[in-house]
């Protein structure tokens, strides 16, 4: 029997077939499923899963999940392993990754850098320096990777004993996953990405630098936050501050320092008040935020107890310990082994990795309890560290292929970061600037933004740690609009906004207008 559709039904069918939303969703869900069979010639690739999530799904919270509750757009999540193998230690290895392919793709690719020692595949979202709208929600295709090993937590270093796994973490995996992700994107959308971006903080910030340094044409725009660029040396810098404070901490009967007890809460508060007293107003406004870091000079000795002892006053020994600790370690020839740390409002923070005034705290291990340090021996060990030699990004400064290719590179660093000193990132930025033709040239493609009060990649009691650097980067890459400043807000200070200015400039209050509003501040030298 022949069925003849009435004209109305035909019209409806035609309308349905050109409805972009419905057609798009169906096509993407089917295309998503097809990715399970994806093979790329010459690559040992296993796709373990390709799952379609309709619009409105909630990502998991917690470690590796979303930073805030949010609804995701429709997307395809592809999970896979590159180079699955049995390691020299008999354990299974491979470079795990997850790639989020939005149903409504904006033509851009974003690589989400890792954290700590990696070892797990985090939710591919692209939330770093993206303000309140992660890249996936904007329509970017986003990839994340474990960089070649699985760890029991973010700091499981056992993989370092396996040669290829160590190489993968040090520098190899990110480049390979970048290439692979672009290939999968090209297969899925039948089109290569128009633009490629990389964002990351800490280890992700180091990986961001790796990309600019070792794969100068892979990415058009890169954001590197608080880069873990030479951990053998930052470890010395962290322990140095703790060691100096331990010299004035109470000791147990065996003479061992009680880590973290060097200063009372009242003394920590007195130090913060003293820092604010010396430095807060230098940016034109007393607002508990120190933007003019260059002009900040604080001498802890001003807090030494006088004839009338107050709760927060310091002994001369305590003041000296703080001063020496923050000045950073020097070897016996007087050479600075790691820069010191800046005096800022977050140095007594109890959030996340505790601030430096907490003394014995160690970002990744048991508290430091030593009361002395052989800086020469430690510096020699750092210089001999093969891991540091292979993974560090502090030395390489020639980025002329990257910049000639049109690449833009933005750095950010919290001034109160207790793990990696913002001064070390400033030092790299200045060396890199010098090596690439000076500030006038380099400001055309690379800028550094310091975030006062902000701890390691975020947090802090007086911090504006939410900023949309990703939009600024995209505009710089795609429209040529260089970002003089990026506006920052934060949950710690509702209603307040400030510009983060490109180093060496800082945000300065203009003298009139609402002191909460970023528009009443300007970038000054
Ligand atoms: Ca201020």
Residue-wise pLDDT tens digits, 213-237? 999 999 999 999 999 999 999 999 9
* 202 belongs to the catalytic site: yes
Burial class (CB in 10 A: 0-12, 13-18, 19+), 476: buried
C-alpha distance from residue 436 to each of 399, 484, 517 (Å): 7, 20, 36
From the CA of 442, how far away is ligand 1's center (Å)? 28
**pLDDT recorded at residue 154:** 80
* Residue 225: inside a domain: no
* 508 belongs to the catalytic site: no
- Which position among 168, 417, 424, 465 bears the catalytic label? 417
**pLDDT recorded at residue 64:** 64
Last residue of a domain, one of 317, 350, 383: 383
Pair (176, 280) in one structural domain: no
Given a cut of 80, whether residue 77 has pLDDT beyond it is: yes
Pair (100, 50) in one structural domain: yes
* Residue 466: inside a domain: no
For residue 397, how far is the Cα from the chain centroid? 19
For range 459-477, the mean pLDDT = 97
**pLDDT recorded at residue 62:** 66
**Cβ distance 502 to 449 under 8 Å?**
yes
* Residue 308: inside a domain: yes
Pair (268, 355) in one structural domain: yes
Pair (284, 334) in one structural domain: yes
Given a cut of 60, whether residue 206 has pLDDT beyond it is: yes
* Residue 488: inside a domain: no
Residue-wise pLDDT tens digits, 356-366? 999 877 878 88
Question: Which two structure tokens, joined as six digits, stand for 138?
Answer: 């904007």
Pair (158, 272) in one structural domain: no
Pair (240, 183) in one structural domain: no
- Which position among 120, 144, 196, 202 bears the catalytic label? 202
What pTM was computed for the model?
A: 0.93
Pair (272, 179) in one structural domain: no
Pair (27, 175) in one structural domain: yes
**pLDDT recorded at residue 15:** 38
Pair (42, 169) in one structural domain: yes
* Residue 153: inside a domain: yes
C-alpha distance from residue 50 to each of 16, 78, 101, 126, 523 (Å): 27, 4, 10, 19, 47
From the CA of 457, how far away is ligand 1's center (Å)? 21
* Residue 351: inside a domain: yes
* 471 — pLDDT class (breaks 50, 70, 90): very high
Given a cut of 50, whether residue 18 has pLDDT beyond it is: no
- Which position among 188, 358, 456, 506 bears the catalytic label? 456
From the CA of 291, how far away is ligand 1's center (Å)? 6
Secondary structure (H, E, C), 294-361: HHCCCCHHHHECCCCCCCCCECHHHHHHHHHHHHCCECCCCCECCCCCCCCCCCCCCCCCCCHHHCCC
Question: Which two structure tokens, joined as six digits, stand for 518?
Answer: 């970023």
Pair (69, 172) in one structural domain: yes
* 417 belongs to the catalytic site: yes
From the CA of 466, how far away is ligand 1's center (Å)? 18
From the CA of 461, how far away is ligand 1's center (Å)? 15
Strand-pairing partners, residue 485, are 501
**Cβ distance 399 to 446 under 8 Å?**
yes
Q: Which domain holds residue 158?
A: 19-193
Residue-wise pLDDT tens digits, 165-185? 999 999 999 999 999 999 999
From the CA of 350, how far away is ligand 1's center (Å)? 22
Phi, psi of 177 (to 5 degrees): -70, -35
Residue-wise pLDDT tens digits, 236-277? 999 999 999 999 999 888 888 888 899 999 999 999 999 999
* Residue 37: inside a domain: yes
Pair (188, 322) in one structural domain: no
From the CA of 511, how far away is ligand 1's center (Å)? 12
Last residue of a domain, one of 349, 383, 417: 383
Measure the CA–CA gap between 303 and 98, rounded to whole angstroms.
Answer: 52
**pLDDT recorded at residue 60:** 79
Given a cut of 60, whether residue 338 has pLDDT beyond it is: yes
Pair (245, 172) in one structural domain: no
* Residue 518: inside a domain: no
Measure the CA–CA gap between 205 and 114, rounded to whole angstroms.
Answer: 8
Of the listed ranges 11-20, 133-142, 285-294, 511-520, the one predicted with least confidence:
11-20
Q: How many domains does the chain have?
A: 2
Last residue of a domain, one of 383, 411, 437: 383
Residue-wise pLDDT tens digits, 393-450? 999 999 999 999 999 999 999 999 999 999 999 999 999 999 999 999 999 999 999 9
């Amino acid at each position: 029997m022949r069925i003849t559709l009435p004209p109305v039904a035909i019209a409806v069918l035609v309308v349905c077939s050109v409805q972009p939303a419905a057609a798009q969703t169906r096509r993407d869900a089917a295309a998503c499923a097809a990715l399970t069979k994806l093979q790329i010639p010459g690559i040992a690739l296993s796709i373990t899963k390709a799952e379609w999530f309709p619009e409105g799904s909630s990502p998991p919270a917690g470690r590796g999940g979303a930073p805030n509750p949010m609804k995701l757009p429709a997307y395809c999540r592809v999970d896979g392993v590159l180079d699955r193998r049995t390691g020299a230690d008999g354990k299974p290895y491979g470079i795990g990754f997850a790639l989020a392919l939005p149903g409504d793709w904006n033509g851009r690719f974003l690589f989400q850098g890792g954290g700590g020692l990696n070892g797990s595949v985090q939710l591919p979202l692209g939330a770093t320096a993206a303000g309140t709208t992660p890249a996936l929600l904007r329509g970017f295709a986003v990839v994340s990777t474990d960089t070649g090993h699985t760890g029991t937590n973010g700091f499981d270093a056992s993989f370092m004993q396996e040669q290829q796994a160590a190489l993968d973490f040090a520098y190899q995996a990110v480049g390979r996953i970048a290439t692979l992700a672009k290939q999968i994107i090209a297969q899925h959308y039948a089109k290569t990405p128009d633009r490629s971006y990389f964002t990351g903080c800490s280890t992700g910030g180091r990986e961001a630098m790796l990309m600019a340094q070792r794969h100068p044409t892979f990415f058009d725009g890169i954001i590197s936050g608080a880069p873990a660029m030479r951990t053998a040396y930052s470890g010395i810098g962290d322990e140095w501050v703790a060691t100096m404070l331990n010299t004035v901490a109470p000791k147990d009967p065996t003479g061992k320092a009680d880590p973290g007890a060097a200063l009372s809460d009242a003394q920590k508060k007195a130090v913060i008040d003293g820092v604010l007293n010396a430095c807060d107003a230098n940016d034109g406004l007393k607002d508990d935020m120190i933007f003019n870091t260059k002009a900040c000079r604080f001498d802890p000795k001003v807090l030494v107890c006088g004839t009338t002892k107050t709760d927060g006053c310091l002994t001369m020994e305590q003041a000296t310990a703080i001063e020496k600790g923050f000045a950073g370690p020097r070897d016996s020839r007087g050479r600075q082994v790691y820069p010191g740390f800046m005096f800022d409002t977050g140095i007594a923070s109890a959030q996340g990795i505790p601030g430096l005034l907490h003394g014995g705290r160690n970002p990744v291990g048991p508290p430091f309890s030593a009361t002395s340090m052989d800086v020469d021996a430690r510096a020699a060990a750092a210089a001999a560290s093969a891991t540091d030699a292979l993974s560090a990004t502090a030395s390489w400064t020639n980025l002329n292929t990257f910049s000639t290719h049109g690449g833009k590179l933005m750095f950010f660093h919290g001034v109160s970061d207790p793990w990696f000193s913002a001064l070390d990132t400033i030092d790299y930025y200045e060396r890199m600037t010098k090596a690439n033709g000076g500030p006038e040239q380099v400001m055309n493609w690379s800028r550094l933004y310091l975030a006062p009060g902000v701890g390691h990649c975020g947090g802090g009691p007086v911090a504006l740690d939410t900023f949309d650097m990703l939009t600024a980067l995209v505009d710089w890459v795609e429209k040529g609009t260089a970002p003089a400043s990026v506006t920052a807000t934060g949950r710690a200070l509702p209603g307040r906004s400030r510009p983060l200015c490109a180093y060496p400039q800082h945000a300065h209050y203009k003298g009139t207008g609402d002191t909460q509003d970023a528009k009443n501040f300007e970038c000054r030298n």
